[in-house]
């Protein structure tokens, strides 16, 4: 059976709806019953980040070399989780996924390995974060949020309490990375940007994903050091060669689209 311009190779239902896996031109993708891809893997290059927005989510590497502890809200097919496991052998990971069936598919169809550094928690991401502001305070270098489905942003993270809790879980120099969708004219994006800006004292920058509706937000905790733009250019070139990801373009776009906040984080 063909669907979404590819071959449907798996289909199931859980309490939250339809899960489908479609293959096209050597790329396997996860769908939640609609055309947008939730996750993709190139079958002959499984460690390559296939989707543009997922690669853009690695832009945090411009500002931090290695994470010791990372929290991921929204596992999906596990692309970001696999990237961290593959490239950072000393990184400990927790991934919170609302749908148990999605976590199973990440293992069975998208190559998410069993690894002692990774703990997968089946829970509502917003609830999990907000319940741990004291027990997990200042634990993580990196909090990554990618909690969209076919209907939009998960309700439990669409509030200022969630972003305040994320800040509490981050170390003093930690970074929040979030995938937002719908463009700067979207009222939800404007509201979320306002919440994050207020909570993180406007140490925020946004990276539009070229040709897509995604914007990647990076929010920096209070003791994030200032970065020299020249040093970042050098780092972007080195990262691009190492990871084969377009970091030099990310840096140019960050400068272009963040005139009001760029100087909070970067010196000339």
Domains in the chain (CATH in brackets) are 2-42 (no CATH), 52-267 (3.40.50.150)
Return the percentage of the chain with pLDDT > 70, whole number: 97
pLDDT(150) > 80: no
Residue 241's pLDDT is: 98
Please say if the pLDDT value at position 184 is more than 80: no
Closest CA to 73 of 13, 131, 15, 154: 154
Q: Which of 21, 187, 217 is closest to 106 using CA atoms?
A: 21
Percent of the chain surpassing pLDDT 90: 82
Mean pLDDT across 247-252: 98
Write down the mean pLDDT value for the chain: 94
Q: Provide mean pLDDT across the span 218-230.
A: 95
Out of 67-71, 207-211, 248-252, pick the least confident: 207-211
Region 90-112 average pLDDT: 97
Residue written as token pair 């907000």: 130
Is residue 172 part of the annotated active site? The answer reads no
Confidence of residue 187 (pLDDT cuts 50, 70, 90): confident
**Pair of tokens at residue 107:** 């293992």
Rounded Cα distance between 160 and 253, Å, is: 27
pLDDT at 185: 66
> Using CA atoms, how far apart are residues 176 and 197, in angstroms rounded to an integer?
12
pLDDT at res. 151: 62
| pTM metric for this prediction | 0.95
In angstroms, what CA-CA distances link 242 with 146, 248, 253?
Answer: 25, 12, 20
pLDDT score, position 67 = 93
In this prediction, residue 149 carries a pLDDT of: 58
3 state SS of 34 = coil
Cβ neighbors of 15 (< 8 A, separation 6 or more) are: none
pLDDT, position 140: 98
Q: Mean pLDDT check: name the lowest of 45-49, 85-89, 208-212.
A: 208-212
Above 80 in pLDDT, residue 80? yes
Looking at residue 101, its pLDDT comes to 97
| 193 and 204 Cβ atoms separated by less than 8 Å | yes
Question: Edge-to-edge strand order for the sheet containing 27-31?
Answer: 2-3, 6-14, 17-24, 27-31, 39-42
Tokens of 12: 């199931």
Q: What is the mean pLDDT of residues 75-91?
A: 97
Is 80 exceeded by the pLDDT of residue 130? yes
pLDDT at 32: 92
Q: Which of 69, 146, 149, 253 is catalytic?
A: 146
Segment among 102-116, 165-179, 187-201 with least mean pLDDT? 187-201
- Beta bridge pairs of residue 145: 73, 178
């Amino acid at each position: 059976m063909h669907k979404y311009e590819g071959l449907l190779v798996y289909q199931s239902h859980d309490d939250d709806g339809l899960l489908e896996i479609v293959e096209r031109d050597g790329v396997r993708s996860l769908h939640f019953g609609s055309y947008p891809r939730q996750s993709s893997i190139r079958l002959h290059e499984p460690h390559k980040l296939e989707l543009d927005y997922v690669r853009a989510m690695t832009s945090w590497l411009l500002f931090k070399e290695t994470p010791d502890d990372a929290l991921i809200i929204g596992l999906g097919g596990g692309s970001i989780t696999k990237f961290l496991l593959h490239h950072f052998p000393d990184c400990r990971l927790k991934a919170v996924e609302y749908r148990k069936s999605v976590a199973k598919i990440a293992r069975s169809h998208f190559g998410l390995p069993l690894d002692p550094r990774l703990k997968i928690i089946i829970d509502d991401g917003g609830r999990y974060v907000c319940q741990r502001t004291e027990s997990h305070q200042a634990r993580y270098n990196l909090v990554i949020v990618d909690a969209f489905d076919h209907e939009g942003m998960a309700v439990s993270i669409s509030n200022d309490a969630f972003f305040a809790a994320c800040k509490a879980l981050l170390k003093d120099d930690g970074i929040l990375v979030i995938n937002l969708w719908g463009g700067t004219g979207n009222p939800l994006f404007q509201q979320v940007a306002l919440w994050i800006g207020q909570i993180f004292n406007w140490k925020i920058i946004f990276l539009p994903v070229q040709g897509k509706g995604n914007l990647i937000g990076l929010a920096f905790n209070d003791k994030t050091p200032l970065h020299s733009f020249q040093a970042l250019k050098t780092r972007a070139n080195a990262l691009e060669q190492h990871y084969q990801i377009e970091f030099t373009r990310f840096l140019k776009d960050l400068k272009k689209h963040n005139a009001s906040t760029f100087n909070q984080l970067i010196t000339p």
